Every structure is written in structure tokens, then in C-alpha cells.
């Protein structure tokens, strides 16, 4: 298979999230690696232990670095152990306010979905009794999440770049060895959160309401958590927007 032949949509056609998600799903089910767009940049996805290791090898991932799952709100709700008010907080942020972020929390180790994971995958995706699930936006991820939820499958995801080199927001900007590791590539062009200067997703420990990584749209997440739940999180020095003015405190007023 040539590099071009595994790219969808093919030249002359346009994206179809439902059909494209199904093709990605079938590749993952057959033990392959998929390169898929997310709002915070392109990501490598895999389900089998062999495919996860292939993706990590292509990235030159350092040992001991915990990796997140990419899934739906429903998957997060099944696996994470959090009080009802925290679950509703996350649901509101994701479903009512259309936000994408990574939830870290304790998990149900005895859940059948977790029990199906190999010890190798489990070691790569959990840390200190917690696991992270990125709940993203967009029709493609929503449909892919639905398909995987139907069969109780879980997807391991990682940014489509060599470790430590930053997010990639166009397929053409992804390193050749990363593209070569993928069995299917979904090219939906420039991704939404490129405006954050290459930041990955924001990661929040929702058990302790602690910021683990300041990422894309963090300033929105921070303001909404405070506005609706009284949660106080650290200021983002790069995107510290003044309340009620729409101005950035670190940028002079436009002339």
C-alpha cells in the first residue's frame, strides 16, 4: 500500500464522517494503526497491543510516559470513579458547552473493558490508580466512539508527532515515519485549535480538581469551571482574558 492509497477522503471526494469513522473502526479492529484528526491536532490511534507498540515506536515514546484513551463521554462515565456532581460537571462542559479535554480520575479496574486490556497496554495507560480519557469534539470522533462503545472496545491515542516535537495540525506537516506507521490516514485539513500555538489538549485531574497540563482552550475551561461551579484554577499566563472585556491581559489594546 502506497502512502497516498491509504489516505481518505480520496482526491476528488469530500469528508463523510460516518463512512470515514467506519473505515477507521475496521482498520483498528484488524489490528491496524489509524492517523485521525482531532480538534487539538492529528493523533495516532490503536486498539491491539501490537498496534499500540507500533505507534509508540514510531513516536519514539519514552518508557514510563502514561498515555490516554480517546473515547466518548459514555466510556468515561463507565470507567471513571467520581461523585455524581463531578460527572455532571464533565457532561455539561463536554455536551452542553461543546468542550474537548482530557479527564484523569480513578477507574474501575474490575470493569470488563479494562479486564480485556493486556498488561502491557494497561501499564502504558494507567498511573497511580488513575487513567486519562480524552473526550473530543467533532462528528468523526463521536461516530468512532459510538462504534467502539457498541462492542466495548477501547482506543489508545497519542499525538501524531515524534515525542517532544509538538502537535501537528495538518497531515502534510506530520513526520514521514509517523505517516508510514499508519494503516489509514484521515486528512480533514487544518484542525481547529492550531490557534493555540501547537498546544495539546488540556488535562484535568477531576478527583482533586488539579491542572495536569495547560493546553488548548484552557482559558475557556478555567472560566466556565469558576463561573458555574466556583472552581478556582491557576491563570494561563498566555491566555489570561480579562473578565467581561474580551481583552487579553498580556496583549496591548489594538490600535
Q: Residue 255: which residues within 8 A CB-CB, separation 6 or more?
A: none
Per the CB < 8 A criterion, the answer to whether 36 and 45 are in contact is: yes
* Segment 60-70 mean pLDDT: 76
Residue 123 has pLDDT above 50, yes or no: yes
3-state secondary structure of 55: helix
Please say whether the beta carbons of 214 and 202 come within 8 A. yes
d(CA 30, CA 22): 12
CA distances from 163 to 30, 58, 68, 86, 185 (A): 26, 9, 15, 32, 19
Give buried/exposed letters for 99-111 (b at 16+ CB in 10 A, else e).
Answer: bbbbbbbbbeeee
CATH 3.40.50.300 assigned to domain 7-217? The reply is no
pTM of this prediction?
A: 0.89
The label of the residue with cell 480533514 reads 188
Helix H or strand E segment including 141: helix 139-151
Residue 48, class by beta-carbon neighbours within 10 Å (0-12 exposed, 13-18 middle, 19+ buried)?
Answer: middle
Q: What percent of the chain has pLDDT over 90?
A: 75
- Bigger pLDDT: 70 vs 164: 70
pLDDT (tens digit per residue) in 86-120: 999 999 999 999 999 999 999 999 999 999 998 88
Amino acid at each position: 500500500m502506497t502512502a497516498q492509497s491509504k489516505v481518505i477522503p480520496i482526491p476528488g471526494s469530500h469528508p463523510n464522517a460516518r463512512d470515514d469513522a467506519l473505515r477507521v473502526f475496521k482498520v483498528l479492529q484488524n489490528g491496524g494503526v489509524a492517523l485521525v484528526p482531532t480538534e487539538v491536532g492529528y493523533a495516532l490511534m490503536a486498539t491491539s497491543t501490537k498496534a499500540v507498540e507500533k505507534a509508540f515506536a514510531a513516536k519514539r515514546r519514552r518508557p514510563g510516559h502514561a498515555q490516554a484513551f480517546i473515547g466518548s463521554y459514555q466510556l468515561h462515565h463507565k470507567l471513571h470513579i467520581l461523585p455524581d456532581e463531578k460527572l455532571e460537571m464533565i457532561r455539561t462542559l463536554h455536551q452542553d458547552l461543546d468542550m474537548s479535554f482530557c479527564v484523569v480520575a480513578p477507574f474501575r479496574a474490575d470493569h470488563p473493558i479494562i479486564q480485556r486490556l493486556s498488561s502491557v497496554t494497561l501499564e502504558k495507560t494507567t498511573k497511580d490508580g488513575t487513567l486519562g480519557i480524552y473526550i473530543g469534539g467533532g462528528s468523526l470522533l463521536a461516530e468512532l466512539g459510538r462504534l467502539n462503545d457498541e462492542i466495548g472496545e477501547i482506543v489508545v491515542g497519542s499525538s501524531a508527532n515524534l515525542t517532544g516535537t509538538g502537535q501537528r495540525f495538518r497531515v502534510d506537516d506530520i513526520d514521514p515515519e509517523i505517516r508510514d506507521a499508519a494503516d489509514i490516514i484521515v486528512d480533514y485539513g487544518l484542525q481547529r485549535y492550531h490557534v493555540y500555538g501547537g498546544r495539546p489538549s488540556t488535562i484535568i485531574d477531576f478527583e482533586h480538581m488539579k491542572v495536569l497540563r495547560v493546553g488548548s482552550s484552557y482559558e475557556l475551561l478555567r472560566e466556565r469551571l469558576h463561573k458555574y461551579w466556583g472552581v478556582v484554577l491557576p491563570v494561563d499566563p498566555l491566555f489570561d482574558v480579562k473578565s467581561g472585556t474580551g481583552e487579553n491581559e498580556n496583549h496591548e489594546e489594538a490600535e
